[in-house]
Amino acid sequence: MPDQRSRFDDLLRRLGEITDLRRISGLLSWDHETKMPPLGAPARAEQSATLARLTHELGTSAELGALLDELRDLEESSDHDSFEASVIRVARRDYEKERRIPGELRAEMSRAASLGYRAWLEARAAGDFEILRPNLDRRIALVHEYVACHEPFDDPYDVLLDDHEPGMRTADVAAVFARLKDELVPLVAGIGEPVDASCLYGDFPAEHLRQFSLAVLTCWGMDDRAWRLDDTVHPFAVGLSGSDIRITSHFDGESLIGLLSCLHEFGHGLYEHQIDERYSRTPLHDGASSGFHESQSRLWENIVGRGLSTWRFFYPRLQVAFPQQLEDVPLDVFHRALNRVAPGVSRMDADEVTYPLHIVLRFELERAMLAGDVTPADLPEAFAAKLREYLGVEPAGVVDGVLQDVHWSDSNFGYFPTYALGNVISVQLWERLIRDVPDLEQEFELGNFAPLREWLREHVHRWGRALTPPELLERAVGGPLDAEPYLAYLRSKVAALESS
């Protein structure tokens, strides 16, 4: 056992170095999207590629592989939930996946992502998809190289999906999405005149809204000694450690929408913040999957952030912050506006009911691009056609259409589906939450969100990656992934708007 303990300590040291490099890469990405001057992009692309190469070398070294083999006895003799068994199990999975990938390919993927992000910004500013298209051509070529490293597989998209949702298969996602599409396309088409949401738009100075958003997040649990909020074009969150959480938003000065993106990113940040501290500098210190991560952001943004009990506490304070805009707007009018259901072209601004269809169409287009059925040159029209088919809306141009999302410029394919999977999980968690804590919404009305935070810490966050997504869902809610509670939740939302 002393020899095994010594080898395990050596494993922790090696994993700590790999984790440090990955967090540094995350810091470079955060800076790229928030503070970096535009002309720094080419150098940043090379810096990112170098870091990716070094991280890959450490993460696939023969020494690391031998160490993991030597520690099989310790893993097998330890309890499944133990720190030691969990670290070894997850580290081995990462090692076996990563060693399939050549170091130069990993570096080139990082370089292309960095350059692609800058091209996306330029394309949006010019309203010209052709600025991004060569980068997208390159990204797809790299994706094909990456997928080929993982043969054999049932479906090439499985490879990409597994990077974000470990163990899930494309067929599983397609089945869930077929159910969502069958239910939601006719539901959305049958929606009558949307409620008036004009109170959410007007003169909402960016700095004033930022300060109000910070007040809400502080009440929810944000600590400015460990968190920060910055502005960006496409909001995101990154956890550089459990006590260094960076979230971003975009306040346009013309609406309250930036507040909702803050609530969304808070959910991501809180997940990272509440992972067990023992997991620091190990591969366990991350969310169980992208879908679980999205379940947290969607729960805080939608179920809590659009909930009446939440706004019974916060709305009087919002009226004080923006008296000219909201003083004469009753709470019920504001709440209905916040929950308005109406098809639109934008995923980021989509309501809860139409949002899943934005994800379904992206999932279908990703699979079509991977199969060669849709090329980057075809993408603007293919994207617009899906919007027309599923939502009955027409983008005014490529900025409102295919260029609205950053993910095809700087991220691997396979991420989009996790947004909708996160929505499904969020409702399953919420149903269990209100059974376990029946007075939860009464606490919200008093401004007390600690019971929610602590339930999520205990049942979801603290586990990090120690449990697989199915294991975590089974323990948290007592069953597997199930879209039916989510669909019932969406139907009830539509019914409530139509009856009020």
> Helices 308-321 and 331-338 meet at what angle, rounded to 10?
110
**Rg of the chain over CA atoms, in angstroms?**
23
Residue 497 pLDDT greater than 70, yes or no: yes
Residue 301 pLDDT greater than 80, yes or no: yes
Angle at 113 between CA 138 and CA 30, to 5 degrees: 170
Confidence (pTM):
0.96
Average pLDDT for 453-457: 98
DSSP string, 425-452: HHHHHHHHHHHHSTTHHHHHHTT--HHH
Residue 412 pLDDT greater than 90, yes or no: no
> Which amino acid, one-letter code, is at 115?
L
Write phi, then psi, for 402 (nearest 5 degrees): -65, -20
Closest CA to 422 of 352, 342, 492: 352
Q: Assess whether 84 carries a catalytic annotation.
A: no
- pLDDT band per the 50, 70, 90 thresholds, residue 498: confident
User: Using one digit for the tens of pLDDT, what is the confidence trace for 382-409?
Assistant: 999 999 999 999 999 999 999 999 999 9
Question: Who contacts 22 (Cβ-Cβ below 8 Å, separation ≥6)?
Answer: 55
What CA–CA distances, in Å, run from 378 to 121, 369, 431?
A: 20, 9, 42
Residue 411 pLDDT greater than 80, yes or no: no
> Helices 41-59 and 2-34 meet at what angle, rounded to 10?
170
- pLDDT band per the 50, 70, 90 thresholds, residue 219: very high
Residue 16 pLDDT greater than 70, yes or no: yes
Predicted pLDDT at 192: 87
Residue 2 pLDDT greater than 80, yes or no: no
Tokens for 302, please give them: 């939608």
DSSP string, 449-473: -HHHHHHHHHHTGGGTTSS-HHHHH
Tell me what percent of the residues of the chain surpass a pLDDT of 90. Answer: 96
User: What domains appear along the chain, each with residue ranges and CATH number?
Assistant: 2-152 (no CATH), 172-499 (1.10.1370.30)
Average pLDDT for 89-107: 97
- Which is catalytic among the residues 265, 294, 352, 364? 265
Distance CA 102, CA 106 (A): 6
Residue 1 pLDDT greater than 60, yes or no: no
